[in-house]
Amino acid sequence: QINVLQAKKKFEILDAMLSFMHAQYTFFQQGYSLLHELEPYMKKLATELDQLVIDSAVEKREMEHKHALIQQRVRSECFSFFQDFSYDDSKVEFNVDAPNGVVMEGYLFKRASNAFKTWNRRWFSIQNSQLVYQKKLKDVLTVVVEDLRLCTVKPCEDIERRFCFEVVSPTKSCMLQADSEKLRQAWIQAVQASIASAYRESPDSYYIE
C-alpha cells in the first residue's frame, strides 16, 4: 500500500508540473498576442523617436552656431568699442593754427586740490593761450591756466596713476591724467606748441612788463 501511495504521488507531481507548464504557455501566449497587437504602434513610435533624435541634433547644431555668432559679435563689438574709446591718430593731433582757436581738446582726469586729492573726468581744451575745462560740453568754461606763456609742462612718473602730466604756473600747478601714453605725449606737445606760438605772436616787451 505504501508503494502504491508513493507511485500515485509521482503521478500527482507530474500532473502538477504539466499544469504549471500549460499555465506558463498560456501566459506567454497571451503576452505575445498583446505585444503583437501593439507592434504597429511600437514601430510608429520608434519612427517618431528617430525623427525626434534627428530634430534634436539639428536644433543643437543651430544653437551652437547661434552661440558662436553671438560670441563673435560680442567680441567684435567690444573690440570696436575699445577702438572707439582709445583715440585714433586723427584725434590725438593738435593744431596751433586751428580756425576756431582750439589747439586740442578731449577728456582728461584732473586731480582736485582738496585734501582728498580726488580725480574727476573733465572735457579739456587749449584755446586762446589758456587751458580750460568743462564738466559737460555745454557748461561754462573753467580756466585752469590763464596764460600758458607763463607755464611749463612735464610728465609725471612718480605718482600712483599712469599717463599723468603736470602743468605748472607761477601760482599753482594742475595734475592731469590722459587715457594713454600717446595722448599724454600729444597733450604735452600741444601745451608746448601753444606756449611757443603765443611767444611768436606777442612782443617781448609785453612779457617783460
- Kindly report the average pLDDT of the chain as a whole number: 84
Q: What is the pLDDT of residues 126-184, one digit of tens each?
A: 998 899 999 877 788 999 999 998 899 999 988 889 999 999 998 889 999 999 999 99
Q: What is the mean pLDDT of residues 25-39?
A: 91
Grid coordinates of 13: 507531481
Q: Which residues pair with 176 in a beta bridge?
A: 110, 165
Q: What does the DSSP 8-state code read for residue 140?
A: P
Give the number of other CB atoms < 10 A from CB of residue 149: 17
> Is the whole model's pTM more than 0.85, yes or no?
no
